[in-house]
Amino acid sequence: MAYRQMLRRKTTGLNTKLWPNLLDHYNTPWPKLVSSVNALKKGLPDEGSPLTEPTLLNILQSESIPPDDQLPNTGVGIEFERLLSTVFIKSNEYGTRCSTIITLDYDNLLQFHEYSYDYKGIQTNKIKKTFRCLTES
């Protein structure tokens, strides 16, 4: 059978469980990950309503900097810790270069959105692909 941009759906629901090492970096919670998970949970709509692409993109583009006392001490210095503490990082040498959102709705429609950015954080490209998922019989 030819490839027809179809995927098989194996599970349902939203999984907000993250790898333990991501939530506990050097025995210190990683503030941007904790705040992103909390924002995702807060942004969850009522049962049957979709979680929108703009809501998800807003979480991924957060430039909120936590207080210094909440930052981990990874040995890179406080200025770089501040830079790394934002979900969306803008820097010449190191930073966010793409954000990817993958959604699956109740009609088994999977949407893939990828946004590319330059070092200033300006969007340079957007890709959107849509797939129809097959359900297991």
Q: What pLDDT sits at residue 51? A: 72
Residue 105 has phi, psi (to 5 degrees) of -95, 180
Task: Write the pLDDT tens digit of every residue in 3-50.
Answer: 344 444 444 444 444 444 545 554 556 788 888 878 877 777 665 566
Residue 123's domain comprises 20-135
> Is 35 a domain residue?
yes
What is the average pLDDT value for the chain, to the nearest integer? 80
Average pLDDT over residues 78-107: 92
> Is 12 a domain residue?
no
The H or E element containing residue 50 is none
Packed helices 31-43 and 53-60: angle between N→C axes, nearest 10 degrees = 160
Q: What pLDDT sits at residue 24? A: 52
**Structure-block tokens of residue 56:** 């998800």
Identify the three-state secondary structure at position 80.
helix
The H or E element containing residue 99 is strand 98-104
Task: Write the pLDDT tens digit of every residue in 120-133.
Answer: 999 999 999 999 98
Q: Please report, as a single letter, which amino acid is at residue 3.
A: Y
Instruction: Please tell me the total count of domains within the chain.
Output: 1
Average pLDDT over residues 77-90: 94
> Is 8 a domain residue?
no
> Is 9 a domain residue?
no
Higher pLDDT, 80 or 9: 80
> Is 69 a domain residue?
yes
> Is 105 a domain residue?
yes
Non-local CB neighbours of 115 within 8 Å, separated by 6+ positions: 57, 98, 99, 100, 123, 125, 126
Confidence bin at 1 (pLDDT 50/70/90) = very low
> Is 7 a domain residue?
no
Average pLDDT over residues 59-72: 93
> Is 85 a domain residue?
yes
